Amino acid sequence: MRDLSSSLALKVSRRLARYVPTRPRMLRPQRAVVSFTFDDVPDTAYTNGARLLDDYGLRGTFYIAPGICGKTEDHWRVLTREQTADLSRRGHEIGCHTYAHAAVQSLSVAQLEQDDRNCRQTLLQICGDIPLGNFAFPFGNAGLSRKRQLQRQYDSCRGIHVGTNRGIIDLAMLRVQELYESTGKVGVDRLLDDVERKGGWLIFYTHDVAENPSAIGCTPALLDHALKAITTRGITCMTIARALTELKLTP
């Protein structure tokens, strides 16, 4: 009975974290802004994803868990520490994603504090003195208490809940749109039509960028299509950090 009660409490906490803005801001949709973000950062997000962004003169945000750099996971190999440093040198934003890709709701307050410290210190050792102002929740979810804990450390936290950021947004749980192969070129175009028409901040997220991607990745051709489309339409593309500043969402 205690386990059932605990499980129910966690589900409620996750839903509250998702739907209750704990760092609300008003984003008046006067223009369209797009950001491209990559979670876990498989090596193909480095070799193909960052390369394509560079080709268009654009920059992305790469949420990295440094404790798994260079490791082979089920679907991909994670980029190395040297590749992480190279991304930073090329002007891409490095974001935090816990030290070892931990589900934050599985950690105690003290454990999360230590994990976050390890993540930040390691990324600074890898990349030098860079700003580390933004975080993405591994697996996309967090309970309300862990969300509040992390929002005190970062300018923004990003989840995986679908939506374009406009109106009242939550800087502690920014919404995203999938850039998966299943999204397709038509799906990408519809999302861009919507943000172009209504304004707001559209944050794409994906994982690997490979010819045969995982179910949560995309091909280089689809990423290229998205980048070409925003360039053709004249939509502004920014990293998460720059968008927060340009959209006047940070103090």
* pLDDT tens digits, one per residue of 57-91: 999 999 999 999 999 988 999 999 999 999 999 99
Tokens at residue 195, please? Answer: 């943000």
Mean pLDDT of 183-196: 98
Mean pLDDT of the chain: 94
What is the structure's pLDDT at 65? Answer: 98
What is the structure's pLDDT at 140? Answer: 84
Residue 1 has pLDDT above 70, yes or no: no
pLDDT in tens, 122-176: 999 999 999 999 999 999 878 899 999 999 999 999 999 999 999 999 999 999 9
Closest-CA residue to 87 (of 37, 33, 137, 157): 37
For residue 201, name the pLDDT band (cuts at 50, 70, 90): very high
Q: 149: burial class by Cβ within 10 Å (0-12, 13-18, 19+)?
A: middle
For residue 2, name the pLDDT band (cuts at 50, 70, 90): very low
What is the structure's pLDDT at 6? Answer: 61
What span, in angstroms and rounded, lies between the C-alpha atoms of 149 and 249? 19
The DSSP 8-state label assigned to residue 120 in this structure reads H
Length of the chain: 251
**b (16+ CB within 10 A) / e for 22-32:** ebebebebeeb
Topology (CATH) of 2-246: TIM Barrel (3.20.20)
HEC states along 62-119?
Answer: EEECHHHCCCECCCCEECCHHHHHHHHHCCCEEEECCCCCCCHHHCCHHHHHHHHHHH
What is the structure's pLDDT at 4? Answer: 44
Radius of gyration from C-alpha coordinates of the chain:
17
What span, in angstroms and rounded, lies between the C-alpha atoms of 234 and 45? 24
CB 230 within 8 A of CB 192: yes
For the chain, domain boundaries: 2-246
DSSP strand pairing (134-136 vs 167-170): unpaired
